[in-house]
C-alpha cells in the first residue's frame, strides 16, 4: 500500500473481497476427491484450461473436460466433478455486507468505484454465486471489468490497463493516473502485479484489516462490525 497522490478511484476484486473466498470449498473438494492439495494447486496455476475459462474462451462444462484431459496427460487423477466443485465454491462464497456498504459509501463520497474480477461463463441455464453477485453489484459499481469478457485475466498487466481506461471511460473522470487508483485483492500475485503497474494496493486478509486500511487511505469512515 502506498499514497504518493490522492486516490480518486477504487477497484474491488469480487471473490475473496466482496465475497468470502472460495478457497475452503476448493479444499473440501480436494479432500473429498482424495486429491493432493499441492498437486491440485500447481495444476490450476499452470492450467491452460483454467486460463481459457477465466478468459471466456470456454464455459464451466467445457473447462471440466479440458481440465480432465490435462490432468490425465500429466499422470494425475481425472474425472473431476466440476458441478460439485462449483457447488462447494458457491457454499463458501458468501456476500460480505460490510464490503458492499464500503463500496456504496465510497461512491457516495464521490469516488469512482469499480469491480475487477477473474470470472467465467456458466453453461446455458446454469447459475453460480459469482455470477449472481456480479449482477447484484452492477448498481453499486460505476464500472465492472470481467476477465471472461475482456479475454485476459489477472495478474496480466493488460487487464490493469483495461481497468484504468474503463474507469476514465465511465465519465466521472476526464483523466486518471495509475497512482490515483486503489485496488483491493486477496491474492498476493494479483496485488503485486497491480502495484507494479502503478496502482495503490491493499492485500485483503480479513474484512476488518481491509476496511481499516481502506479508511486510512481514502479518509472515508468505513462500516464497523456490529
Q: Is 130 left (phi over 0), alpha (psi -120 to 50) or beta?
A: alpha
What order do you get walking across the sheet with 181-185 strand by strand? 143-146, 112-117, 9-12, 181-185, 200-203
Q: pLDDT (tens digit, 9 = 90+) per residue, 47-99?
A: 899 999 999 999 888 888 898 888 888 887 777 777 788 788 888 888 899 99
pLDDT of 1 > 60? The answer is: no
**Which is nearest to 58 in space by CA: 128, 144, 137, 122?**
122
* Mean pLDDT of the region 212-222: 97
> Residue 29: its pLDDT value, please?
84
Q: What percent of the chain has pLDDT over 70?
A: 95
Question: What phi and psi, each to the nearest 5 degrees, are found at residue 31?
Answer: -65, -45
Residues whose CB is less than 8 angstroms from the CB of residue 199 and which lie 6 or more positions away in sequence, other chains included: 11, 160, 178, 179, 181, 182, 183
User: In a 10 Å sphere around its CB, with 0-12 CB exposed, 13-18 middle and 19+ buried, how is residue 87 labelled?
Assistant: middle
Hey, what's the cell of 5?
A: 497522490
Sign of the CA dihedral running 122, 125, 129, 132: positive
> Residue 127: its pLDDT value, please?
62
* Mean pLDDT of the region 8-26: 90
DSSP 134: H
- Give the residue carrying C-alpha cell 497491480: 194
d(CA 166, CA 200): 17
d(CA 146, CA 154): 10
> Residue 54: its pLDDT value, please?
93
Q: pLDDT (tens digit, 9 = 90+) per residue, 146-166?
A: 999 999 999 999 999 999 999
Task: Report the chain's mean pLDDT, rounded to a whole number.
Answer: 88
> Residue 104: its pLDDT value, please?
93
d(CA 211, CA 81): 36
Confidence bin at 103 (pLDDT 50/70/90):
very high
Q: Are 197 and 160 in contact (CB under 8 A)?
A: yes
> Residue 210: its pLDDT value, please?
98
Q: How far is CA 192 from the centre of its chain?
A: 14
Determine if the pTM surpasses 0.95: no
Amino acid at each position: 500500500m502506498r499514497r504518493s497522490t490522492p486516490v480518486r478511484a477504487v477497484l474491488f476484486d469480487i471473490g475473496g473481497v466482496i465475497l468470502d473466498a472460495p478457497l475452503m470449498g476448493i479444499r473440501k473438494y480436494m479432500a473429498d476427491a482424495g486429491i493432493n492439495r499441492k498437486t491440485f494447486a500447481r495444476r490450476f496455476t499452470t492450467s491452460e484450461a483454467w486460463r481459457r475459462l477465466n478468459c471466456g474462451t470456454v464455459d464451466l462444462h467445457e473447462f471440466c473436460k479440458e481440465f480432465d484431459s490435462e490432468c490425465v496427460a500429466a499422470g494425475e487423477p481425472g474425472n473431476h466433478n466440476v458441478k460439485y466443485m462449483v457447488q462447494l465454491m458457491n457454499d463458501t462464497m458468501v456476500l460480505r455486507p460490510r464490503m458492499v456498504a464500503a463500496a456504496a459509501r465510497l461512491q457516495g463520497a464521490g469516488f469512482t468505484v469499480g469491480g475487477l474480477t477473474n470470472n467465467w461463463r456458466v453453461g446455458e441455464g446454469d447459475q453460480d454465486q459469482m455470477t449472481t453477485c456480479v449482477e447484484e453489484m452492477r448498481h453499486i459499481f460505476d464500472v465492472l471489468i470481467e476477465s471472461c469478457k475482456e479475454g485476459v485475466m489477472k495478474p496480466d498487466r493488460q487487464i490493469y490497463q483495461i481497468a484504468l481506461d474503463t474507469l476514465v471511460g465511465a465519465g466521472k473522470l476526464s483523466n486518471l493516473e495509475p497512482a490515483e487508483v486503489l485496488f483491493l485483492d486477496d491474492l498476493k500475485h494479483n496485488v503485486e502485479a497491480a502495484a507494479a503497474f502503478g496502482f495503490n494496493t491493499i492485500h485483503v486478509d480479513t474484512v476488518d484489516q481491509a476496511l481499516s486500511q481502506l479508511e486510512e487511505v481514502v479518509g472515508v469512515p468505513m462500516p464497523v462490525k456490529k
